[in-house]
Amino acid sequence: MQASPDTTHVAIAPVPDETLAELLARRAAEDPDGVYCYFKDDVLTLGALNARVNQLANLLWRDGLRPGDRVGLMLPSHPDHIVAIFALAKLGLVRVPINVHLKGASLQHLFDHLAPRALIADAEYADALAPELSKLERVLWRGGQDAARAFEGLASQSAAAPPVRPAPDDILALTPSSGTTGAPKGVLKSDRTLRAGPQAILRLTGARPGNTFLLWESLHHGAGVAVIISALIGGTRLAMVERFSASRFWDDARRYNVTHIHYLGTVIPMLLKQPARDGDRTHGVRIAWGGGCPPDLWKTFSERFGVEMREGYGLSELITFVTVNPDGPAGAIGKALDYYDVMLADDEGKPVPVGQTGEITVRARVPELGFLGYFRNPEAEASSRRGDWFLTGDLGRQDAQGFLYYAGRKKEMLRRRGINISTWEVERVLAEHPDIEELALVGVPSDLGEDELKLFVRVREKAAGMPAVLDPLALIKWSEARLPYYQIPRYVAFIDEFPKTPTQRIQKKELPRTVADAWDLERSGYRIGK
């Protein structure tokens, strides 16, 4: 893609030098009674948020934490989690987000690799954390099962600003990459990059002060953090819920007069598979924005729920969105923001022709917003770069007008009978089956030295609450009219619940590659017609 801001880039305002600490203090001074966040029946104002953030920051300062120290956060989706995120930013501490569902070896890996000095955690996770506590100098607990949910010692602290001023490019977080195919890596995130992603959100969504975003994302993931920062920058409001729920999604949107909803991963298909209701369009939501909407569901979702779709593309290693599509063709991830150049490249780093699939590679036009590296992982960092270009591992194609389209993960390309297969392409077709709620396709070893295809299926529940009965052979016969023979899975296994990232992406690395417990097409005696 040639760098021409008139035709191949989307204009966006520069990222100012005002830090997160300064931004929060200014917004609280300008509009102390302004609503920042709704949570259940509570309302958190900007003034109250800043005061609580300062109290927690002063508590951490009193305990000896200083700029650059790494601090783990293992907290539920609650306004207190927002307070903790901003308190660390006020002190220039480096946030180490911890998924509340981690336990055992995965939790140990995070503590050993990212090595936080201190931890702020909810007492609910004390048992899972017990083996790691000896590695920490300080642990600050939030509440307990028989105590009020509050940070220990917070009420006695001053609400004045703490005695430190972080700089715009200080590192403030080690954000774990999604880790769907390997161990998570700690991505270095600066104050500036943490603010750039939210600016991209505001550019994509066209949000205005007073608009309300439904916040269902877990705050141990960068997408959720970007949303809470965007509310400070853009003057929007948050309607925070404890977890994503497809059945309650639109009720929550109506309750809080939500104007913008965010989607990632399997959110769009899950909402579409909810039973149709008379109130599907009786809400105030105007914009659905995010990444990963299956192109064939774009129009269906828009028409059923009466919302405008806004798609983009981003990744943990850069910012929330690298490309945005505020008004382009359906299914496109848009064009690059002014901050970046994007090129679709072959394995040698050369541009691929228009219409052909290549790896999405990104080069920062603003050096401070480029890939800042992985924490203590020089090998992974080096393998992710080719000169000035960051190698995303994602595939895309570009049309004649310069619009980009996502085409799956490079590492999820399987090879079967001499033919390359994109798992993403197969999954989006099979996901249309009316009895399938969710699915994932993986490769398993073949006697021929290539891949066989194993499909994991979570069956959709019927209206009466009983699961549908899905015959594997009937599914294979259904797929014959929709897939070429070499894309039809050999193995089918059923699963009650998929392991997922905070963005609702299925973690394929945790799905077993064994086939002894799976239905086998070859053993069934049925032969696929070619």
pLDDT tens-digit map of 322-333: 999 999 999 999
Planar angle of CA 411, 172, 128, nearest 5 degrees = 70
Measure the CA–CA gap between 203 and 105, rounded to whole angstroms.
40
What percent of the chain is modeled with pLDDT above 70?
94
Residue 500 exposed, middle or buried by CB count within 10 Å (0-12, 13-18, 19+): middle
pLDDT band at 104 (very low <50, low <70, confident <90, very high): confident
140-154, 251-265, 294-308, 378-392, range with the lowest pLDDT: 140-154
Are 363 and 338 in contact by the 8 Å Cβ rule? The answer is no
- Number of Cβ within 10 Å of residue 61's Cβ equals 18
Comparing 198 with 106, the larger pLDDT belongs to 198
Q: What is the pLDDT of residues 407-425, one digit of tens each?
A: 888 877 787 766 778 787 7
Residue 407 CA to residue 55 CA, distance in Å, equals: 47
With bands split at pLDDT 50, 70 and 90, how would you rate the model's confidence at 181?
A: very low
CB distance 24 to 44 below 8 Å: no
DSSP lists the bridge partners of residue 343 as: 361
Least confident window among 162-166, 384-388, 509-513: 509-513
Q: Report the number of secondary-structure helices (H) and strands (E) in the chain.
A: 14, 28
Looking at residue 144, its pLDDT comes to 58
Percent of the chain that is helix, strand, coil (3-state, to 5): 30, 30, 45
Instruction: Write down the mean pLDDT value for the chain.
Output: 91
CA atoms within 13 A on the CB side of 230: 33
Kindly state the tokens that stand for 27: 């917004």
pLDDT at 180 exceeding the cut of 70: no
How do the domains of the chain map onto residue ranges?
17-316, 417-524
198 closest CA partner among 245, 246, 262, 254: 262
pLDDT, position 119: 98
Amino acid at 89: A
- Asked whether the predicted pLDDT for residue 504 surpasses 90, the reply is no
**CA–CA dist 262, 312 (Å, integer):** 11
The answer, yes or no, to whether residue 5 has pLDDT greater than 50, is no
pLDDT above 90: residue 145: no
Backbone angles phi, psi at 360, to 5 degrees: -75, 115
- The pLDDT-based confidence of 447 (bands split at 50, 70, 90) is low
Spell out the residues 6+ positions from residue 384 whose beta carbon is closer than 8 angstroms to its own: 317, 371, 374, 390, 391
Give the separation between CA 288 and CA 303, rounded to whole angstroms: 12
SS3 call for 66? coil
For 17-60, how does the pLDDT look when each residue is reduced to its tens digit (9 = 90+)?
999 999 999 999 999 999 999 999 999 999 999 999 999 999 99
Q: Say whether 213 sits in a helix, a strand or coil.
A: strand
DSSP letter assigned to residue 295: G
Q: What one-character-per-residue DSSP string does 443-502 give?
A: EEE-TTSSEEEEEEEEEPBPTTSPBPP--HHHHHHHHHTTS-GGGS-SEEEE-S---B-T
Side-by-side strand order, sheet with 491-494: 436-445, 451-459, 491-494, 519-520
Q: What is the mean predicted confidence (pLDDT) over 144-156?
A: 73
List pLDDT tens digits, range 252-285: 999 999 999 999 867 898 899 899 998 899 999 9
| Triad 324, 328, 329: Cα angle to 5° | 120
Average pLDDT over residues 71-79: 96
> Is residue 465 predicted with pLDDT exceeding 80?
no
Residues 136 and 65: their CA atoms lie apart, in Å, by 12
Phi, psi of 284 (to 5 degrees): -100, 10
For 449-460, what is the mean pLDDT?
88
DSSP 155: T
Residue from 396, 384, 311 nearest 351 by CA: 396
CB-CB contact of 279 with 255 (8 Å): no
Two tokens, residue 148: 């009020």
Lowest-confidence segment of 57-66, 454-463, 498-507 by average pLDDT = 498-507
How far apart are the C-alpha atoms of 366 and 484, rounded to whole Å?
Answer: 44
Closest CA to 398 of 333, 337, 330, 309: 333
- Reply yes or no on whether the pLDDT at 204 is more than 60: yes
Cβ atoms < 10 Å from Cβ of 245 = 12
Contacts for 489 with CB less than 8 Å, ≥ 6 apart:
426, 441, 453, 454, 455, 476, 479, 521
> Which CATH code, of 1.10.1740.10, 3.30.300.30, 3.40.50.300, 3.30.70.2190, is assigned to 417-524?
3.30.300.30
* Start-to-end CA span in the chain (Å): 38
Mean pLDDT value of segment 129-138: 96
Give residues with Cβ within 8 angstroms of 87, minimum separation 6: 53, 54, 56, 57, 60
Beta strands in 275-434 (DSSP E): 287-290, 308-313, 323-325, 335-337, 340-345, 358-364, 385-386, 389-398, 404-409, 413-416, 419-422
What is the domain class of 17-316 according to CATH?
Answer: alpha beta
Residue with tokens 């939500």: 258
pLDDT at 245: 92
pLDDT at 179: 45
Q: Distances in Å between the alpha carbon of 512 and those of 183, 260, 428, 529?
A: 16, 37, 21, 29
Q: Where are the alpha helices (DSSP H) in 384-471?
A: 423-430
Report the distance separating Cα 330 and Cα 125, nearest Å: 43
Q: In the structure encoding, which two tokens stand for residue 493, read together?
A: 């296994």
Highest mean pLDDT among 357-361, 445-449, 499-503: 357-361
Distance CA 223, CA 476 (A): 36
